[in-house]
Structure 1
Amino acid sequence: MSDRDETMQTWWHALCAELGVDDPGTDVTQVLDLAAVAAHAVVRPAAPLTTFLVGYAAGLAGGGTDAVQRAKDRAAALAKDSATTEDPA
């Protein structure tokens, strides 16, 4: 595991503890991959907004890994679609 990966895992566990939530078992790499898709396909500031909203949507849908996966897949598809859509302006 790289230093970056270890730092991210440490941060993830510290953040879960600080927010008073159990580690949901989410693959941190998948979250970072989604952020990268949003940043590159839309605009860079879309990354944190996308990951936040995916988590929020998953929570409203009952939470759990299935809800996270569905929300992540929908967000990634939209971001990729946005990258291929021409700007009408």
Structure 2
Amino acid sequence: MNVLEEWTALVCKELGIDPARLDRDAILGVTKDVAHGVARPAAPLTAYLLGLAQGAGTAPQDAAARLSALAANWGKATEETMKDA
């Protein structure tokens, strides 16, 4: 078991989360997309927001895909947002 697996197991146990509900690779993928496409500090914030979305009932795979797409289109999204302001 590597450090990431050990940490994940420990956190799941501490927070009472069923590790079977966790898609670690999807979360790491989204945070990588955000870190490289938006900004490094946005990655942990995005992971937190992804967790909030899942807690509110959003399907984790759907939310992860939407966030990765948003990060990939960050430049275009900010241009459109600035036009609307």
Query: TM (normalized to structure 2)?
Result: 0.80
Query: What amino acid is the match of 1:70?
Result: D
* 1:86 CA displacement: 7.9
- The answer to whether the aligner puts 1:80 opposite 2:72 as a matched pair is yes
Structure 1 unaligned spans of 5+: none
Query: What amino acid is the match of 1:32?
Result: L
Alignment coverage as a number of residue pairs? 80
State the identity %.
36
Q: Aligned residue for 1:43? A: 39
Q: Aligned residue for 2:25? A: 29
* 1:24 CA displacement: 3.7
Greater fraction of residues in helix: 2
* 1:56 CA displacement: 0.8
Query: TM (normalized to structure 1)?
Result: 0.77
Structure 2 unaligned spans of 5+: none
